[in-house]
Amino acid sequence: MQNLKEIRKRIASVKSTRQITQAMKMVAAAKLRKVQNRVIQLRPYTNTLKSVLNHIIDALEFDIDDPLFTQRPVKKVLIVAISSNRGLCGAFNVNVVKKVQALVDQYQKQGIKTEILGVGRKASLILQKRGYDVISSENQYIEEISYENSKQLANKLLGLFLSGQYDKIEIVRNSFKSAGSQMILSEQFLPLQRPEDTGKSYQAYYIFDPSAKEILRELIYNKMLFTDIFYALLDSYSAEQAARMTAMHKATDNASELIRQLTLTYNKARQAAITKEILEVVNGAEALKNRQ
């Protein structure tokens, strides 16, 4: 049986841990509500922007000569792994690592070289330790998510693609599904994919000034790419906070259960100690009585 003093210390330690996990759960919940409001506000804008772009492309009758739409032979791929800078968020970062590893293996089988750009410290460190080619870790974009930061990251990826360093850029990230569930996504960022031909023509409904090609270029280079990155970072951050909230909730419940078990063990040990003391007193009294 454990010493009573040791059990009391352990109960106090677990209670202290439970207070920390409970506080972290509440902080994650507050951050999740805040970032979800930003995502909800951004979603109608992104949907409308993509709809307008599709209408313009349809009006051009798919006559697009922009280099961002050019499908080059894929010889080298950049995988952008969006994770977190901090841990204690369950399988959030591990899922990103697993997806990246699966993609790298898939491309290697096809004889395609891959490199990884980490956005967030955790996945980058794990992938580096496992021997993957991580060219850089851009932790600042996760630390403070803003439209300006998203523009910097999008411009960096845009430059890498247009310079010919990479023939394809993919983004791997978590997506917020619900407070208790996240979904891992792999999305092609560049080159841009043409929308499927629906058979509808919007050409008759629009008069373009300047030309449709100029408007398309302006929207893609100065709006859509930045917005896509901004949305991806916000969605990943939402999933991170949801994962952390769930992980801390489970940790708090586990701490409560451990405290219950330790308290039961303490009471049993205390009862055994009292019983032992009573027996010693009784035996001592009997021994004195027998001497008399």
Domains, the chain, with CATH or none: 4-23+248-291 (1.10.287.80), 32-246 (3.40.1380.10)
Give the pairing of strands 113-119 and 181-190. Answer: unpaired
249 pLDDT more than 90: yes
Strand partners, 208: none
Greater confidence (109 vs 58) lies with 109
pLDDT for residue 203 = 54
Mean pLDDT of 46-73: 81
pLDDT (tens digit, 9 = 90+) per residue, 200-223?
555 556 777 788 888 888 888 889
Task: Give the model's pLDDT for residue 200.
Answer: 56
**pLDDT score for 71:** 86
Percent of the chain with pLDDT over 90: 60
279 CB-side CA count, 13 A: 6
Task: Using the structure block, give the residue that is written with the tokens 């204690």.
Answer: 88
Q: What pLDDT shows up at residue 166?
A: 95
- Output the 3-class SS for 133-174: CEEEECCHHHHCCCHHHHHHHHHHHHHHHHCCCCCEEEEEEE
The angle, 0 to 180 degrees and rounded to 10, between the axes of the packed helices 225-291 and 92-109 is: 130
The alpha carbon of residue 75 and the mean position of all alpha carbons in its chain are separated, in whole angstroms, by 28
In this predicted structure, which of 33-37, 60-64, 74-78 has the lowest mean pLDDT?
Answer: 60-64
Question: Apex CA 265: angle with CA 261 and CA 270, to 5°?
Answer: 145
Angle at alpha carbon of residue 74, lines to 226 and 77, rounded to 5°: 55
CA dihedral sign, ordered 87, 144, 179, 261? positive
pLDDT at 165: 94
Catalytic amino acids?
A: 89
Spatial separation of the C-alpha atoms in residues 61 and 162, rounded to whole Å: 24
